[in-house]
Amino acid sequence: MVSDIVVQFAHRPADDAAAAIAAHLTRFWHPRMRHRLVAAVDAGADVDPVVVRVARMLSPAVPAP
């Protein structure tokens, strides 16, 4: 779950944390997983605000599943 990653970066400012998490997901997550995250956020999932920032950073670059 992305929330498990978010808490590891909770010590950092939200923008920094979101950038680091987005970079991590880009480097290690299958595009389908990233796509689902973005879709879940777009659908209004109840998530940490940092996750929303992550999704926005990922959104333009996530390839179709």
Partner 1 sequence: MSLLKEPDFGTPARSGEATVELTVDGVAVAVPPGTSVMRAAAQAGLEVPKLCATDSLEAFGSCRLCVVEIDGARGTPASCTTPVAPGMVVRTQTEKLGKLRRGVMELYISDHPLDCLTCSANGDCELQDMAGVTGLREVRYGSGVDAGANHMDLLSDTSNPYFVFDPAKCILCSRCVRACDEVQGTLALTIEGRGFDSKVSPGAGGTFMESDCVSCGACVQACPTATLQERSVVELGMPTRSVVTTCAYCGVGCSFKAELRGSGDSTEVVRMVPHKDGGANEGHSCVKGRFAFGYASHPDRVLTPRVRDSIADEWREVSWEEAITHTARRLRAIQAEHGAGAIGAITSSRCTNEEVYVVQKMVRAAFGNNNVDTCARVCHSPTGYGLNQTFGTSAGTQDFASVADADVIMVIGANPTDAHPVFGSRMKKRLRQGARLIVADPRSIDLVRSPHIEAAHHLALNPGTNVAIVNAMAHVVVTEGLVDRGFVDARCENTGEWEEFIADPAHSPEAVEEITGVPASDVRAAARLYATAGNAAIYYGLGVTEHSQGSTMVMGMANLAMATGNIGRSGVGVNPLRGQNNVQGSCDMGSFPHELPGYRHVSDGSVREVYEQLWGTPLLDEPGLRIPNMFDSALDGSFRALFVQGEDIAQSDPNTGHVHAALAALDLVVVQDLFVNETAKFAHVLLPGTSFLEKDGTFTNAERRINRVRPVTAARTGKQEWQIVCEIAQAMGYPMHYDDAAQIMDEIALTTPTFSGVSFAHLDAVGSVQWPCTPERPEGTPIMHVDGFVRGKGRFMVTPYVPTRERSNRRFPLILTTGRILSQYNVGAQTRRTANVAWHPEDVLELHPHDAEVRGVADGDRVELASRVGSTSLRARISDRMPVGVCYTTFHHPVSGANVVTTDNSDWATNCPEYKVTAVQVTPSTALTAAVPAQEETTVGAGRG
Size of the site for partner 1 (CB under 8 A): 23
Does residue number 57 form part of the binding site for partner 1 (CB under 8 A)? no
Does residue number 56 form part of the binding site for partner 1 (CB under 8 A)? no
Q: Show the site string, 21-50: x = touches partner 1 by CB under 8 A, - = not.
A: ---x--xxxxxxxx-xx--x----------
Give the chain's length: 65
The DSSP-derived string for 10-32 is: TTS-HHHHHHHHHHHHHHHS-HH
**Shortest distance (Å) from residue 1 CB to partner 1:** 5
Alpha-carbon span 37 to 45, nearest angstrom: 9
